[in-house]
A and B are shown apart, each in its own frame.
Chain A
Amino acid sequence: MADLSASINQEKSDETLIQQFKDGDQEAFTILYHRHITNVYKRVKYIIPEAEVEDVTQEVFIAAMKSLGSFRGDSQFATWLRTLTNHKVAEFYRKRTRKQEPQFAPLSDGFGKMEGSTSKMMEERVYLQKALSQLPDNYREVIILRFAEDLQFNEIAEQMNQNIEATKSLFRRAIIALRNQLDE
């Protein structure tokens, strides 16, 4: 257990763990899971109805495990996982639309799952999620990176291959777009 905790705490790089997994070491994937689950979960929770968050998070890791063999390391594993998460979220909404279910679940779906949440807060949450989902991808991304993943603006700039001024400008435009969505 101490070994696992040490490994989760960055003793081995993601690249080393991925190579170990490719060589057949399943434990390496468990360490990657523990290292990245929180960020994947937070991202999914920010944009998916509460009742579906755990299932979609699981789908992300299943997909990661299946396609890790073809991961070539052109980008960081965390960035790759973020893209995979966005694909799974998009797939979730595509399936919902196909089933002709309401894109945003009724409020009752989340009740009993969110401790300490009032119904008004739940309602507001659904409203905000809907507004976020209607933003262009880069606007939604900058908001999620700052609020859900708690990255600093300089870290977001690095992730988005931009300078910090451009990132802050993108953030302001994203908030303007969100406010306009909420006002509609």
Chain B
Amino acid sequence: MSDTNKNFSQDEELSDFTDHVIRGQMKNIAADSNEELRGLEETILRLHSNMPSTSLEESTKKQMLVRLNARIRREKEQYKKKSFWESFGKLQAPSRLQFTVVLGIIAILVVTMIISPILGNSGSSTTVGTALNSNSNIFVAIGLITVIIGIIWSVRRK
């Protein structure tokens, strides 16, 4: 028998043996197997007995579906939250840190705006008052620029 024919015959024998094992019609190595096939049949039996193809119970299927639906709901809610931010020109939702920084900057700006008129009126002479007024304008300008930079940074795409 040529090698090709021998291999073909072994392919057929092994697949037939596997079919019988899976159907439960064969529990031992075939009596007429040659030495070469024996080792392979042993492996088939080992696979079949230790890795049974158990069917999934109806109750498990349902439990898994309930958990799957819950997960899908959660993911949809997250998507909705994201899409609120994304609606502003595809911007990303800010992180907690970025949000805190923006709040901090706004607070500084508000304080600056409150303090600047007080500083502006606190001088006793007109010359001092004018100097302080111009200083407070610089404060407001710096504050505004900082706020704009902060907002751009907070919503920039990662």
List residues of chain A with CB under 8 Å of any chain B CB. 30, 33-34, 37-38, 41-42, 45-46, 54, 57-58, 61-62, 65, 121, 124-125, 128-129, 143, 146-150, 152-153, 165, 168-169, 171-172, 175-176, 178-179, 182
Contact = CB atoms under 8 A, between A and B. Distances in A.
A42 B11 contact: no
Given A37-B61, A61-B68, A169-B7, A175 B43 contact: yes
Contacts of A153: 15, 19
Contacts of B50: 121, 124-125, 128
A175 B71 contact: no
Contacts of A179: 39-40, 42-43
Interface of B: 7-8, 10-12, 14-15, 18-19, 22, 39-40, 42-44, 46-48, 50-51, 53-56, 60-61, 64-65, 67-68, 71-72, 75
Given A153-B15, A171-B14, 11 more contacts: A38-B55, A42-B55, A54-B64, A121-B50, A128-B46, A146-B22, A150-B53, A169-B7, A175-B44, A179-B40, A179-B43
Nearest to B63: A54
Contacts of A58: 64, 67-68, 71
B15 A171 contact: yes
Contact of A38 (B46, B56, B71): B56
A45 B60 CA distance: 14
A107 to B, nearest CB: 13
Contacts of A172: 7, 10-11, 14-15, 40
A97 B143 CA distance: 49
B65 to A, nearest CB: 6
6 contacts: A42-B56, A57-B64, A148-B53, A153-B15, A179-B39, A179-B42
Contacts of A42: 53-56
A65 B72 contact: yes
A7 to B, nearest CB: 14
Given A33-B65, A37-B64, A65-B72, A171 B53 contact: no
A182 B61 CA distance: 33
By DSSP majority rule, is chain A's interface helix, strand, loop, or mixed?
helix
A182 B46 CA distance: 11
A86 to B, nearest CB: 17
A42 B10 CA distance: 28
Contacts of A38: 55-56, 61
Nearest to A179: B43
Contacts of B56: 37-38, 41-42
Contacts of B47: 128, 143, 147, 178
Given A150-B53, A168-B11, A168-B12, A34 B61 contact: yes
Contacts of A171: 11, 14-15, 18
A148 B55 CA distance: 10
B68 A168 contact: no
Interface centre among A61, A168, A179 (most CB of B within 10 A): A168
